[in-house]
Homo-oligomer: A and B are copies of this chain.
Amino acid sequence: MRIRIDLAYDGAGFRGWAVQPGLRTVQGELQGALATVLRLPEVTVVVAGRTDAGVHARGQVVHADLPDDAVGTIGGRAGVTPYDALLRRLNGLLGTEVRVRGLAPAADGFDARFSAEWRRYAYRIVDAPRPVDPLVRGHVVAWRRPLDLDVMNLAARPLIGLHDFASFCRRREGATTLRTLMELTWSRDDAGVAVATVRADAFCHAMVRSMLGCLLAVGDGGQPPDWAGRILSAAVRDPLVKVAPAHGLTLEEVRYPADADVTAQAARTRRRRA
């Protein structure tokens, strides 16, 4: 049987999502906690968005395939389902840096990675002369120069749509860098924090932070407004594009279709990636 887990984490204390021998990673912590609570030798989870070291998540989604009887044996108080009992025990084991927000049987054909319609990230940055509120400094970046968000929004427009994002991706052998960017907009919240909303069917490695780094160089006057579009068209990585700092980035949401469509969506994604 397959379960779906929704989770949030503060990425500061982790070497990213993916398990690495000897390093503390979110996947490693979660898999360890699942194995302990379920008394299984090993549990492997599949994630919607592999986050880099230092990147946070509020709306991360994973699935895990478990033996059919694994969850049913979890005891709980009257009125508490085995899934709720499992959620509570996981949160009891995990530190407060990682919180399981939801845990339930997955819909037939659900795949956390391939069934997703889109991923939405937020990037938060405070530009000079504003100081960063110390209470949110863990997920908000300080930028030394003022940012012109109007210019950044203008600069982002050529990136919207279906493109080869090779200029903004760390290449992986045999993997396509074609992606559909649905949204990339900057606005200020009530506290004056500049917030980017970035939404795409999927992102290749380093893509969000490379695009944002490019826009930040435009927004503080270091590059002209058409720079992002020209970098995209070049279709090769440009060393002038600096990857934006990790701790400003948060995976906010992964959107899936209705349960009846998750199998078809997964098939579509697999075809597109091939």
Contact = CB atoms under 8 A, between A and B. Distances in A.
- Interface range on chain A (Cβ under 8 Å from partner): 20 to 34
A13 to B, nearest CB: 10
* Interface SS majority for chain A: mixed
Interface stretch (A109-117, A133-141, A151-159): A133-141
Q: Which of A132, A135, A137, A139 has the most CB of B within 10 A?
A: A135
How many subunits of this chain does the assembly comprise? 2
B131 A58 contact: no
Contact of A58 (B8, B133, B137): B133
26 contacts: A8-B133, A8-B134, A8-B135, A9-B134, A10-B135, A56-B134, A56-B135, A58-B133, A91-B131, A96-B132, A96-B134, A96-B137, A96-B142, A97-B137, A98-B134, A99-B131, A99-B132, A99-B133, A99-B134, A100-B131, A101-B131, A135-B136, A135-B138, A135-B139, A136-B136, A138-B138
